[in-house]
Amino acid sequence: MTGAPVIVAARRTPIGTAGHALAGCTAADLAAAVIADLAGSLGDVPLREVVLGNCMGPGGDVARVAALQAGLPVTVPGLTVDRQCGSGLAAIVLAVAQLRAGETGAVLAGGVESASTAPWRMWPPRGDAAPVRYERAPFAPADVGDPDMGPAAELVAREAGIDRVAQDAYAARSHARAVATQQAGGFAAELVPVAGLDADERPRATLTVERLGRLRSAFEPGGAVTVGNSCGINDGAAAVTVVDAGTHRELGVPGLRVLATATAGVDPRRPGLGIVAAARQALDRAGLGLDDVDVVEFNEAFAGQVLACCAELELDPERVCREGGALALGHPWGASGAVLAVRLFSQLVRGGAGRTGLAAIAVGGGQGVAMVVETC
């Protein structure tokens, strides 16, 4: 694995609640802030490309727009990818593949989402009917199964036997961990302030199990999934600098060697389980088991979904997102997979929390993306 690409820097914006502190920032605004910060530390390393994931932005090539807005030379191309919630991590997977294939230098890769400024989307009119606004494009064909993420999370949790109490307890723990990390300055080194915001907006010290228990079911009558044990709707960007092995040797800086990546498909009716399939594949390719992993970062879209994945993997939930996850920090869709990579970098490289890390995220439509790294 000594020839594998290496992540040598990782940064993100604070994550804002949609309609609040970052509401005036477009996707390009958010991404440009992170890109400019990472590009400023490259020195003489040639920058080959910018790859960004995005789900709900203005369309076109957001990566190219953000790269130019960040002041990069016009000679640096940009590529925007869409694997829905997995887009940010998928962008990093593409960067790693590009460098494995023989490219040299650096690729900036990550993701961005501005739910606040996402354009309205309309199906064109049929006959005399008016155009119909829709919240999301299809994740899968209707006859295969195309549930909204909330009802899908209810199904996954119910089938795994994860009750409301367990989901609320997990959500409360995520907030408590994020607040503790925030208060200890544990996020400070990874943050690029934007629009006057220098801290994540969502973590709440007062979000206890008791308070969560008073919330109503969000998606099904009598269901266990609520707005309290689900992620928020958020704005933010995150990216990493990936270099080839030779460039890393020349730089001589600490980083995260990418041991393996994986992208998997699962039942579209149970999209949250994409974490399981992708994590297993990535670990197998890295020649590791979960017991060999020091830091585990799963995207916490829903507490019940994460707990169901942990049960399937026979993984102690206490090991997941030890500094708080998306339930507390937020889930800026296209950026969230890249946020996981930033969190691994902070804990393993900056914080010395161990040697190996696993990041994994589930995707609407029944997919999962995962990455295994080690310090070097």
Residue closest to 105 by CA, chosen among 10, 245, 240, 9:
245
DSSP-assigned beta bridge partners for residue 110 = 52, 239
- Cα gap 243→254, rounded to integer Å: 12
Residue 166 — φ and ψ, nearest 5°? -65, -40
The CA distance from 340 to 353, in Å, is 15
Residue at 300: amino acid letter: E
Q: Check if 331 is active-site.
A: yes
* Torsion angles phi and psi, residue 266, rounded to 5: -135, 180
Q: Catalytic: which of 85, 309, 321, 376? A: 85
- Residue type at 132? V
Output DSSP code: residue 99: H
In the annotation, is 321 catalytic?
no
Decide if 328 contacts 15 (C-beta within 8 A): no
Per the listing, tokens 């929390």 go with 353
Active-site entry in 55, 175, 321, 331 = 331
What are the tokens at 233?
Answer: 């709707």
Residues annotated catalytic, as ranges:
85, 331
